Amino acid sequence: MTERQPLIQGAFVTFRVHVNPDKCQGHNRCYSVSPELFDLDELGMSNEVGEGLVPANLVGAARLAVANCPEHAISLIQAEGES
Ligand code: F3S
Protein backbone atom coordinates (compact mmCIF):
# COMPACT_ATOMS: atom_id res chain seq x y z
CA MET A 1 0.00 0.00 0.00
CA THR A 2 1.38 3.41 -0.92
CA GLU A 3 1.34 6.40 1.41
CA ARG A 4 2.21 8.85 -1.29
CA GLN A 5 -0.15 10.91 -3.35
CA PRO A 6 0.87 12.14 -6.78
CA LEU A 7 1.19 15.91 -6.56
CA ILE A 8 2.42 16.74 -10.02
CA GLN A 9 3.94 14.53 -12.62
CA GLY A 10 7.04 12.92 -11.11
CA ALA A 11 6.49 14.35 -7.64
CA PHE A 12 4.97 12.80 -4.55
CA VAL A 13 3.99 14.04 -1.16
CA THR A 14 3.44 12.16 2.06
CA PHE A 15 0.99 13.35 4.70
CA ARG A 16 0.73 12.56 8.37
CA VAL A 17 -2.05 13.37 10.80
CA HIS A 18 -1.34 14.24 14.40
CA VAL A 19 -3.71 14.77 17.31
CA ASN A 20 -2.55 17.24 19.94
CA PRO A 21 -3.41 15.51 23.23
CA ASP A 22 -3.46 18.87 25.05
CA LYS A 23 -6.27 20.11 22.79
CA CYS A 24 -8.37 16.96 22.21
CA GLN A 25 -11.57 16.97 24.27
CA GLY A 26 -13.03 13.73 22.94
CA HIS A 27 -15.62 14.98 20.46
CA ASN A 28 -14.88 11.89 18.32
CA ARG A 29 -15.73 13.53 15.00
CA CYS A 30 -12.33 12.48 13.67
CA TYR A 31 -13.07 8.86 14.40
CA SER A 32 -16.51 9.15 12.81
CA VAL A 33 -14.98 10.59 9.65
CA SER A 34 -12.05 8.21 9.40
CA PRO A 35 -11.65 5.30 11.82
CA GLU A 36 -8.77 4.14 9.64
CA LEU A 37 -6.69 7.16 10.71
CA PHE A 38 -7.77 7.71 14.32
CA ASP A 39 -8.10 5.57 17.40
CA LEU A 40 -9.85 6.33 20.68
CA ASP A 41 -8.61 5.55 24.15
CA GLU A 42 -10.80 4.36 27.04
CA LEU A 43 -11.79 7.95 27.79
CA GLY A 44 -12.74 8.71 24.18
CA MET A 45 -9.67 10.81 23.46
CA SER A 46 -8.22 10.46 20.00
CA ASN A 47 -4.79 9.75 18.71
CA GLU A 48 -3.47 8.95 15.28
CA VAL A 49 -3.14 5.32 14.25
CA GLY A 50 0.48 4.21 14.17
CA GLU A 51 2.77 6.94 12.92
CA GLY A 52 -0.14 8.87 11.41
CA LEU A 53 0.73 8.16 7.80
CA VAL A 54 -2.19 8.96 5.51
CA PRO A 55 -2.75 6.66 2.53
CA ALA A 56 -3.48 8.57 -0.67
CA ASN A 57 -7.09 7.42 -0.72
CA LEU A 58 -7.68 8.88 2.77
CA VAL A 59 -6.20 12.36 2.31
CA GLY A 60 -9.69 13.78 1.76
CA ALA A 61 -10.95 12.11 4.94
CA ALA A 62 -7.96 13.48 6.84
CA ARG A 63 -8.76 17.01 5.64
CA LEU A 64 -12.39 16.49 6.65
CA ALA A 65 -11.31 15.41 10.13
CA VAL A 66 -9.12 18.50 10.49
CA ALA A 67 -11.98 20.75 9.40
CA ASN A 68 -14.49 19.12 11.75
CA CYS A 69 -12.54 19.04 14.99
CA PRO A 70 -14.05 21.80 17.14
CA GLU A 71 -10.90 21.97 19.26
CA HIS A 72 -8.53 22.39 16.29
CA ALA A 73 -6.57 19.49 17.74
CA ILE A 74 -5.69 17.77 14.46
CA SER A 75 -2.92 18.78 12.15
CA LEU A 76 -2.25 17.44 8.68
CA ILE A 77 1.43 17.68 7.97
CA GLN A 78 3.19 17.37 4.67
CA ALA A 79 5.87 15.01 5.79
CA GLU A 80 8.16 14.89 2.80
CA GLY A 81 8.29 15.43 -0.92
CA GLU A 82 10.55 14.41 -3.69
CA SER A 83 10.64 14.65 -7.40
FE1 F3S B 1 -10.44 14.99 19.83
FE2 F3S B 1 -11.16 16.60 17.90
FE3 F3S B 1 -11.25 14.06 17.51
S4 F3S B 1 -11.56 16.89 20.05
S5 F3S B 1 -11.67 13.16 19.52
S6 F3S B 1 -9.41 15.24 17.90
S7 F3S B 1 -12.73 15.53 16.79
pLDDT in tens, 10-24: 556 789 999 999 999
Query: Residue 29 CA: which ligand 1 atom is closest?
Result: 7
Which DSSP category does 45 fall into? -
Domain span including residue 34: 5-82
Residues present in the chain in total: 83
| pLDDT of 73 strictly over 70 | yes
- Please state the domain count of the chain: 1
Residues with Cβ within 8 Å of 61's Cβ and at least 6 positions away in sequence, in order, are: 33, 34, 36, 37
What does the pLDDT read at residue 79? 77
User: Mean pLDDT, to the nearest integer, of 17-37?
Assistant: 97
Dihedral sign for Cα 33, 43, 73, 14, please.
negative
The finding on whether 63 has its CB within 6 A of some atom of ligand 1 is no
For the entire predicted model, the pTM comes to: 0.83
Query: Residue 19 CA: which ligand 1 atom is closest?
Result: 6
What does the pLDDT read at residue 83? 39
Tell how far the Cα of 16 is from the centroid of ligand 1, in angstroms: 16
CATH code assigned at 22: 3.30.70.20
